[in-house]
Each structure stands twice: as structure tokens, then as C-alpha cells.
């Protein structure tokens, strides 16, 4: 296919602030944008109107992408010099930095996220992720092991073709989470975007080619989970798959891996993160701000959202009033207005799901202290909602809502709150607010979560591993720990002339 053939997939997108740009909506396979067997309509959740129609992959196009990745792996990338891999990762980071404004517009249009959040967090963290792992390209070392009369050592080898299936809530960030550690150690990749928000990922695909990556090293396709996703999980040429999304889909990914070639699997799944506010917290106003950010960012559509808030009895009334005041002060509206904090839910389906959970909470006997209604405007907007008088057996305390809903409960002491905080099938994240260092250390250790934030919440950095306990998944994104999921360890033992 020539560049002129790709023109058929070019789509002009116009943002509410007048920003115009063109995105290629084809499947990015072997450094070309090609057609799929079907198409997907992606809509603007702030209006419910069509944004673009993208090409959709099915099993045939998954095969094409995997074959391209396999060829690239065996014909150069596997044996490429670490400095060259580092250079290309840094080049892609430079291009994302250059085009941050366009990427932010696309992600905001496609997912409904406030554009300032994408500019200030998603894009910079994506850039940092690429640059962080570029530094590990020449540090993928094995070990020499002392043995009796033998030279023994290990080497780290790439797996081959690695697949990534990303979520719609932080698509720019998710792409770099999947590709950076995989490419760093010499793998090639096939990424499937979410059908709800593919546009920012397709923009990054164009930057991959501009950066100079060899054909087939990075392939980015759009498609539905039950077609393209299923084909990837069952594909016998894919050696590793990383998935970010729901627990139910994570189980299907594992089943597909087991039924095919026992490919390595890592899962970053749902969460129902507890946030604990002790009465000795040094600055209650700051704690309230962290709770608000952790619970309502991305309209509550974050896997690690602090949706269960436990406040010690003595400061409960003060806390709840401060939280209410802060919630009411934040703007809900068009994602492109600079002072907007909360935009719409990503889709009509997600909107209905959240509203159903709010109705469930009311029927279960919880008090809807604030919000609880849809907002009478174009798009899929829901009021930020606070439930009080909640108990641990309520569905709104046990199940992931993935919307702007926080449940606030009282607790007596450390033992009481640790039991409540751990009373969930999830274990992705948790927060602790206290001025007592000993308490912070003790409670953090007792919490069953992959990451615990003390006197802050949802602060994610490239050098810090991110992942869950229990049904929040396994494996880690970010940090040197992530590299272990993208390598195979080979042991070599050489007889140095010793007799049998």
C-alpha cells in the first residue's frame, strides 16, 4: 500500500475550541494504515455525536499484525543494538511531547476527559515512561553464579511477539505502559485499542512511523474485544499478552492463553480502593482535596479510584462537610474549557451502568448525601455523588462502579478500619492519611493492595511499580519490575575442564 492509498482513511476532526486536525483511522500494521473487515463508530461523549469511523480488525487482521511483528522480531529487532532501541524510544517521546496538544484534544474528544488532565498528567507521564525505559535498553543483564567447577550464568532474552490490550480511560498512557518495557528488551508488539476511544492511539501510530521504527516492530489496531481481543488471546504466535480492563475480560484472556499456547499473561484489572482518614491527620483540607482528586478524576473512571472512604468517628462530620463544599466548587462541563474538572462518562453504556448503581445504593438503604442525578445537558454527564450510611455488604461498597460515586463510612480504630478496608475481592490501591509515622507504616503493611499512598493519592511515577493483589490482577506496569514480564531467563552452565 502506498501513502496515497492511505488517504482514504484520513478523517478531519474539529474540537469545540476550533482546533482542527486530521487523524488516520486505518489499522496500523507493518508501518502502513490498512483497511479492516469492519468499522467502529467512535462518538464524543460530551455530545453523543459521531466523531469518526475507524477500521476494525478481526482475526484476519490480527494475523497480519502478528505476522508483521514476528517477521520484524526475527529479522533485526531481536538482535538490534540496545542504543538503537533507546534512541527510537526517546525519539517517540520527543514526538509525543511535540504533538501533546493534538493528542490531548483527541483523547479528550474521544473519552470525555478534561483536556487539562491529559495535558498535565497523561501526556507528560507517557513521555516519562518512554524515556525511563529507554535507559534500561543496555542494562538488561543476567548474573554470573558461583558453582562447583563450572562457569554458570544467566542471560535475559526477549519473548518475541507481545500483545497489549488497552483501556479507554487513559489510552495514551496505556500504550506507553505496554510498548516501552516490551521494546526495551527486544520484543515486538501488537496493541489493540479500546473501541470506545481509539483516536489518540492512532495518532501515536503515525508518530511511530515518523520516529523511524522498522516496519512491524509496533502495530496498533482497533477492534472489538469479542473478535480482535479474542483472536489475540488465542493466538499461538503471541508469546505474552498484557491486558488492562475488567475482571470478567481478564478471565477470558487467561482462558484464551490456556487454551492456545500458554502464553505469559499479565493483568491490571479493577479496583475498589479504600482511603483511610485518621483523626490525627495533619491537614484535613489537604486530605479532602486528595480524596476528591482520587475519587472524581476522569469522572470516577479510574481503576485505582478511591471510591471507599473511611473517616475516623471524631472528624467524620467535619470531613463530610468539607468534601461536599469542595465537590460543589468544581466545574462539571465541556472538557475543553480550562476550568472544567469533570466531564461526561465515556459512553451511554457506562452512563447507564453508573446510574443503575446509584439506584442500587438508594435501594440498599444508603443515604445519597450529595448528587445522584444525571445532568440535564447534551452528553453523558452525572453529578458527583456521595453516599453515606453505607455498610460493607452493600453492592456499592463491594463492586466497581467506575463513575463519580464515593461511599463515605465511619470507623473506630486501626483494627476496625483494616478489616473493613480489606473486605473486598479487589486489591489495587489504598490511601492512608495520618501524621503518625508508626501508624502509617503499620496500616500500610496491613492493607492488601498493590500500592499504598500515604498522605497523598493516585500519584503514579515511572520508577514505581503499579499493579494489584487479589482480583485486581497480577504483574506490574512501570518500574524495573515490569521488565521481568517481558523476558525469558536462560541458564547456561559450562564445564571448565573438570572431570565428570
Cβ within 8 Å of residue 220, ≥6 positions away: 27, 28, 175, 191, 193, 201, 202, 204, 205, 208
Question: pLDDT averaged over the chain?
Answer: 96
Spatial contact of 277 and 319, defined as CB atoms under 8 Å apart: yes
Same domain, 265 and 286: no
**Which helix H or strand E contains 491, and what residues bound it?**
strand 487-495
429-479 pLDDT tens trace: 999 999 999 999 999 999 999 999 999 999 999 999 999 999 999 999 999
Residue 495 lies in a domain: no
pTM here is 0.95
Q: At what angle do helices 199-211 and 82-98 cross, to 10 degrees?
A: 130
pLDDT score recorded for residue 300: 97
Report residue 193's pLDDT band, with 50, 70 and 90 as the boundaries.
very high
pLDDT of residue 500: 66
Do 138 and 81 lie in one domain? The reply is yes
pLDDT of residue 142: 93
In a domain, 500, yes or no: no
- Reduced to 3 states (helix: H, G, I; strand: E, B; else coil), residue 157 is strand
| CATH number of the CATH domain containing 16 | 3.40.605.10
Task: Specify whether 64 is located in the same domain as 187.
Answer: yes
Does 494 reside within a domain?
A: no
Does 70 share its domain with 195?
yes
Over 90: is that where the pLDDT of 160 sits?
Answer: yes
Residue 5, pLDDT > 90, answer no
In angstroms, rounded to a whole number, what is the distance separating the alpha carbons of residues 294 and 147?
A: 51
Question: What does the pLDDT look like over 338-361, one tens digit per residue?
Answer: 899 999 999 999 999 999 999 999
- What is the set of active-site residues? 268
Residues 323 and 221 in one domain: no
Same domain for 244 and 129, yes or no, is yes
Per-residue pLDDT, averaged over 387-391, amounts to: 97
Cell digits of residue 92: 517517540
- Grid coordinates belonging to 127: 513521555
Q: Which residues contact 166 (CB under 8 A, 6 or more apart)?
A: 174, 175, 177, 178, 191, 192, 193, 194, 201, 244
Q: Please check whether residue 496 lies inside any domain of the structure.
A: no
Of 132, 182, 164, nearest to 484 by C-alpha is 182
Distance between CA atoms of residues 307 and 302, nearest Å:
10
> Which residue range forms the structural domain that includes residue 384?
274-461
Summarize pLDDT for 24-42 with one digit per residue, the tens.
Answer: 999 999 999 999 999 999 9
Do residues 351 and 211 both lie within one domain?
A: no
280 and 175 assigned to the same domain: no
Average pLDDT over residues 318-324: 98
* The pLDDT of residue 4: 59
Q: Are residues 196 and 47 in the same domain?
A: yes
On whether residue 498 sits in a domain, the answer given is no
User: What distance in Å separates the CA atoms of residue 323 and residue 318, rounded to the nearest whole number?
Assistant: 9
User: Does 262 score more than 80 pLDDT?
Assistant: yes
| Alpha helices in 341-455, H assignment, sequence order | 348-364, 395-398, 414-421, 437-446
Residue 218 lies in a domain: yes
CA torsion angle for 461, 465, 466, 467 (degrees, to 10)? 180
Give the CATH number, domain containing residue 294: 3.40.309.10
- Look at residue 256 and tell me whether its pLDDT is greater than 90: yes
Same domain, 249 and 318: no
> Among residues of the chain, what percentage have pLDDT more than 70?
98
Q: How far is CA 270 from CA 99, 425, 428, in A?
A: 31, 10, 7
Same domain, 241 and 370: no
Closest CA to 44 of 301, 373, 355, 381: 381
Q: Is residue 302 part of a domain?
A: yes
Domain identity same for 144 and 167: yes
How large is the greatest C-alpha to C-alpha distance in the chain, in angstroms? 84
Number of domains in the chain: 2
Three-state secondary structure call for residue 55: strand
Amino acid at each position: 500500500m502506498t501513502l496515497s492509498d492511505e488517504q482514504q482513511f484520513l478523517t478531519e476532526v474539529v474540537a469545540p475550541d476550533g482546533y482542527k486536525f486530521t487523524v488516520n483511522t486505518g489499522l496500523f500494521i507493518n508501518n502502513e494504515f490498512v483497511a479492516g473487515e469492519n468499522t467502529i463508530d467512535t462518538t464524543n461523549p460530551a455530545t453523543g455525536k459521531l466523531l469518526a469511523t475507524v477500521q476494525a480488525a478481526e482475526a484476519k487482521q490480527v494475523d497480519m499484525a502478528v505476522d508483521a511483528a514476528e517477521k520484524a522480531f526475527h529479522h533485526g529487532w531481536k538482535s538490534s543494538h540496545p542504543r538503537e532501541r533507546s534512541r527510537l524510544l526517546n525519539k517517540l517521546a520527543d514526538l509525543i511531547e511535540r504533538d501533546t496538544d493534538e493528542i490531548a484534544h483527541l483523547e479528550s474528544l474521544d473519552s470525555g476527559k478534561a483536556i487539562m488532565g491529559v495535558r498535565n498528567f497523561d501526556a507528560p507521564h507517557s513521555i516519562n515512561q518512554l524515556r525511563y525505559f529507554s535507559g534500561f535498553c543496555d542494562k538488561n543483564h543476567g548474573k554470573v553464579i558461583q558453582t562447583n567447577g563450572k562457569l554458570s550464568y544467566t542471560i535475559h532474552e526477549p519473548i518475541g511477539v507481545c500483545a497489549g490490550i488497552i483501556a479507554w480511560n487513559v489510552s495514551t498512557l496505556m500504550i506507553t505502559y505496554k510498548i516501552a518495557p516490551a521494546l526495551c528488551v527486544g520484543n515486538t508488539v501488537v496493541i489493540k485499542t479500546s473501541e470506545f476511544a481509539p483516536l489518540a492511539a492512532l495518532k501515536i501510530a503515525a508518530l511511530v512511523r515518523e520516529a523511524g521504527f522498522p516496519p512491524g516492530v509496533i502495530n496498533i489496531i482497533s477492534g472489538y474485544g469479542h473478535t480482535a481481543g479474542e483472536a489475540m488471546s488465542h493466538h499461538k504466535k503471541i508469546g505474552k499478552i498484557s491486558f488492562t480492563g475488567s475482571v470478567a475480560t481478564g478471565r477470558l484472556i487467561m482462558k484464551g492463553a490456556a487454551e492456545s499456547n500458554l502464553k505469559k499473561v499479565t493483568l491490571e484489572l479493577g479496583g475498589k480502593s479504600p482511603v483511610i482518614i485518621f483523626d490525627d491527620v495533619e491537614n484535613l483540607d489537604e486530605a479532602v482535596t486528595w480524596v476528591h482528586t482520587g475519587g472524581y478524576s476522569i469522572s470516577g473512571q479510574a481503576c485505582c479510584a478511591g471510591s471507599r472512604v473511611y473517616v475516623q468517628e471524631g472528624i467524620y462530620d467535619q470531613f463530610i462537610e468539607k468534601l461536599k463544599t469542595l465537590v460543589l466548587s468544581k466545574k462539571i462541563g465541556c472538557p475543553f474549557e480550562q476550568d472544567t474538572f469533570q466531564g461526561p462518562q465515556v459512553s451511554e453504556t457506562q452512563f447507564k451502568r453508573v446510574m443503575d448503581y446509584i439506584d442500587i445504593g438508594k435501594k440498599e438503604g444508603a443515604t445519597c448525601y450529595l448528587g445522584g442525578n444525571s445532568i440535564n445537558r447534551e452528553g453523558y454527564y452525572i453529578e458527583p455523588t456521595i453516599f453515606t450510611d453505607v455498610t460493607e455488604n452493600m453492592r456499592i461498597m463491594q463492586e466497581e462502579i467506575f463513575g463519580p460515586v464515593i461511599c463515605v463510612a465511619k470507623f473506630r480504630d486501626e483494627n476496625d478500619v483494616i478489616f473493613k478496608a480489606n473486605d473486598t475481592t479487589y486489591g489495587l490501591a489504598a490511601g492512608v492519611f495520618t501524621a503518625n509515622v508508626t501508624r502509617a507504616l503499620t496500616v500500610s503493611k496491613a492493607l492488601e493492595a498493590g500500592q499504598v499512598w500515604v498522605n497523598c493519592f493516585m500519584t503514579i511515577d515511572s520508577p514505581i511499580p503499579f499493579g494489584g493483589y487479589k482480583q485486581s490482577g497480577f504483574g506490574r506496569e512501570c518500574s524495573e519490575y515490569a521488565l521481568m514480564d517481558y523476558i525469558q531467563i536462560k541458564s547456561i552452565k559450562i564445564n571448565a575442564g573438570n572431570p565428570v
